[in-house]
Structure 1
Amino acid sequence: MLKFSDFEPIIKIKFAMKNVILFFSILYSLNIYSQEKPNYPEPEKGMKRVDLKLPKIENDKDYKVEIKFGMEIEVSECSDVQDFSFNSKNLENKYAIPPYRYPYYVLPKEIPVDIFTFNKSNCKESKKVKKKILSSQNIFREYNGYYTIPFYIPENWTIEYRLWKVNSEFKNVEH
């Protein structure tokens, strides 16, 4: 007749095997889900990298971020320039870890820009002043205060942003 002590070594081996399998399963899952550090490229000559880091706020799901590009130009004192425009399709969305992790944005170095100026009447155009203008394009993104969002833009450009509070209620449109 078999005794319990006869099966003790087999039970110990099975228990040890379960622990080994559990250990390697945990190690494998940690390796799969571990955060890789993004490897962003260095900016090209004539370009700069600007990191958009949003402040931490409560209820961040209630906010959107509006992003605009800015530049400082020299114009006549008589000029009433408000903004500039460019083809926003030139703004490339890329990822540091493909396919969809750690997004960053790139504008070409030599991007064509349209600046419309209107001159005030009865004004001497000889005096020049520096004026900061913003792009007319509105780029809206979900609020994310955890990660910085790198932008690669021409050296003389800036990144500007503002937060918009979202009203989460949808209203029915009446006929």
Structure 2
Amino acid sequence: MKNLILFFSILYSLNMYSQEKPNYPEPEKGMKRVDLKLPKIENNKEYKVEIRFGIEMDVSECSDINNFSFNRKNLEERYGISPSRFPYYVLPKEIPVEVLTFNKPNCDETKKVKKKVLSSQNIFREYNGYYAIPFYIPEKWTVEYRLWKVDSEFKNVEK
């Protein structure tokens, strides 16, 4: 009898976790869903992922702009399965974008060019190549990422 109860308990728990799929909402109007799917690599514990957001803007040809002001607090983490499984991230539809520009001297500032600028604040996550991470972002935004190799040893700080 104990074996039968144990068998059904294991079967129930396997069924419960194997059948559940994350429930991601449809994007709102003016938003899009972008899935960050990382390539499979060996030793994924040795890597971190840096995530930034991009916008294509019209800027002066003289401008040395590289990034725009972004506050990580605007990025809301939610879950596809409550309370804490399958995270996805949501940015508000209307985020003010502040750009600081420094122009080159002796340059015609009236000429405009399209340039992709990235968010100023980096978001680092553990590497995960097993499932895609959805981002709900404004339609004109992009999600950019790069991988960082981590030195696994901690070094002692000397005086």
What is the TM-score normalised by the length of structure 2? 0.93
Alignment of 1:13-162 (within 5 A): 21=5, 23-162=7-146
Check 1:26–1:174 CA distance in 2 against 1; reply closer, same or farther (3 A cut): closer
Q: Which has the larger radius of gyration?
A: 1
Q: Structure 1 segments of 4 or more deviating over 6 A?
A: none
Amino acid at match of 1:171: K
CA distance in 2, matches of 1:163, 1:44: 30
The Cα offsets for residues 44-82 of structure 1, whole Å up to 9 and x where unpaired, read as 111111000000000000000000000100011111111
Q: Percent same amino acid among aligned pairs?
A: 81
Amino acid at match of 1:83: N
CA distance in 2, matches of 1:19, 1:166: 46
CA distance in 2, matches of 1:54, 1:71: 21
CA distance in 2, matches of 1:160, 1:22: 47
Q: Secondary structure at the match of 1:113?
A: coil
CA distance in 2, matches of 1:29, 1:110: 42
Return the offset for 1:100.
Answer: 0.5
CA distance in 2, matches of 1:144, 1:30: 23
The Cα offsets for residues 133-164 of structure 1, whole Å up to 9 and x where unpaired, read as 11110100000000100000111110000000
Q: Secondary structure at the match of 1:167?
A: coil
Computed over aligned residues only, the root mean square deviation of the Cα atoms, in angstroms, reads: 1.6
What is the TM-score normalised by the length of structure 1? 0.85
The number of residues matched between the two structures is: 159
Check 1:26–1:87 CA distance in 2 against 1; reply closer, same or farther (3 A cut): closer
CA distance in 2, matches of 1:35, 1:140: 30
